[in-house]
Amino acid sequence: MKPVILSVGVSGSITTREQNPNLPVTPAEIADSALRAWEAGASIAHIHVREDDGTPTARAEVYATVIERIRAGSDMLISGTTGSGSGLFSEDERLNVLSARPEIASFDAGSVNMGRRVFNNNPDFLDRLAAAIIQAGALPEIECFEIGFVANTVRRAKDWQFPGDGRTWWFQFVLGVSGASPGTANTLLAMRNELPPRAEWSVLGVGAAQLRMAHVALVEGGHVRVGLEDNVWYRRGELAQSNAQLVERIVRMAAELDRPVATPQDTRELLGLDQDPDTSAG
């Protein structure tokens, strides 16, 4: 069967140490946690960054520090977030990660309720973000909280020049967010069925949805993201010890289902990315 790409959402910008004291928060901790997840089998690190006190930040210097440390210790791919930091970051700040030359950059293809707030990705900003990602040479990771996000992306693909020359569509379904689509097999498969040709898809489940969404993806030929950004628990009543622990569980599940785990080299081949990318800042 096709190798399964394992991504790790290392820290995010919402999860706190009050929720799980094992959460990496400083730049060094975030980078080192990504490296331990790579050793466990993850080939993509989805990166948010924070200041040393754990405050979410979008400073380009902090992105560069974290990403350089990961690249110095591994060959894993970097997926840089262009998220809003729970509404803390301006539209300009959301583009800062691109200066660190991630191979992949998140593209949240619409607006959505998240608990009591709105994650705002208005059409004008999406046009600007798409152009910036393509100009930076990154592959858009199209994050879809709702099935309409898939349709919106396919509808605008020509204008946005997605997914890029010779590259494969890369969709990340985000399920189980309060206020958005539930983490169920029916939802996941409905979204998968709306994908364009030549698409690879992955899923992350928030909280208790993480493990069951991973099960469905492994069986249905998709890919999986886990990590403390999305889920602080290992099982009911037991906090996860690390991102690596969450990755290791998916590696074992994949082996039981005869899904080999993709190496970073495999991942680049599946996504149509260069094996020796130009990741110099500029």
- Global pTM? 0.96
- Does residue 152 form part of some domain? yes
Q: Count of CB atoms within 10 A of residue 129's CB?
A: 23
- CATH number of the domain enclosing 40: 3.20.20.70
pLDDT in tens, the chain (282 residues): 899 999 999 999 999 999 999 999 999 999 999 999 999 999 999 999 999 999 999 999 999 999 999 999 999 999 999 999 988 999 999 999 999 999 999 999 999 999 999 999 999 999 999 999 999 999 999 999 999 999 999 999 999 999 988 899 999 999 999 999 999 999 999 999 999 999 999 999 999 999 999 999 999 999 999 999 999 999 999 999 999 999 999 999 999 999 999 999 999 999 999 887 666 554
Report the DSSP beta bridge partners of residue 202.
Answer: 172, 223
- Does residue 280 form part of some domain? no
Place of tokens 């204008």: 159
According to the model, what pLDDT value does residue 274 have?
87
H or E element: which one contains 267? helix 264-271
According to the model, what pLDDT value does residue 16 have?
95
Domain containing residue 200: 6-271
- Does residue 278 form part of some domain? no
Number of domains in the chain: 1
CB 97 within 8 A of CB 80: yes
According to the model, what pLDDT value does residue 282 have?
46
According to the model, what pLDDT value does residue 39 have?
98
pLDDT by residue (tens digit) across 172-219? 999 999 999 999 999 999 999 999 999 999 999 999 999 999 999 999
- The DSSP result for 54-100, as a single string, is S-EE--HHHHHHHHHHHHHH---EEEE----TTTTS-HHHHTGGGGG
- Does residue 67 form part of some domain? yes
- Does residue 92 form part of some domain? yes
- Does residue 258 form part of some domain? yes
Residue type, 80: G
Structure tokens at 44: 């993509």
- Does residue 11 form part of some domain? yes
DSSP state of 186: H
CA distance 186 to 61: 42
- Does residue 277 form part of some domain? no
Structure tokens at 248: 């290791």
Distance of CA 265 to the CA centre of its chain: 18
